[in-house]
Amino acid sequence: MPTSKSKTAPLMVAAFVLATGFVTAGTAQDAPPPVSSETLLSTQTTIIGQPLSYPTEAPAEVSVSIVTLQPGAETGWHIHPAPLFGHMLEGELTVDYGTEGTRVYRQGDSLMEATDWPHNGTNTGDGPARALVVFMGAEGLSSSAPADPPAE
What Å distances lie between residue 63 and 3, 7, 47, 135, CA to CA?
69, 62, 20, 5
How many structural domains does the chain have?
Answer: 1
Give the DSSP H/E element, type plus range, for residue 85.
strand 84-90
Q: Is residue 40 part of a domain?
A: no
Domain with 78, as residue range(s), is: 60-146
Q: Is residue 119 part of a domain?
A: yes
Q: Is residue 42 part of a domain?
A: no
- Whether the CB-CB separation of 63 and 137 falls below 8 Å is answered with yes
Q: Which amino acid is at 42?
A: S
3-state secondary structure of 103: strand
Please state the length of the chain.
152
Q: Is residue 134 part of a domain?
A: yes
CATH of residue 118's domain is 2.60.120.10
Q: Is residue 52 part of a domain?
A: no
- Whether the CB-CB separation of 87 and 131 falls below 8 Å is answered with yes
Q: Is residue 107 part of a domain?
A: yes
Tens of each residue's pLDDT in the chain, 152 residues:
444 444 444 444 444 444 444 444 445 578 889 999 999 999 999 999 999 998 888 999 999 999 999 999 999 999 999 999 999 999 999 999 999 999 999 999 999 999 999 999 999 999 999 999 999 999 999 999 999 998 87
C-alpha closest to that of 69 among 100, 105, 40 = 105
Q: Is residue 132 part of a domain?
A: yes
pTM of the model: 0.77
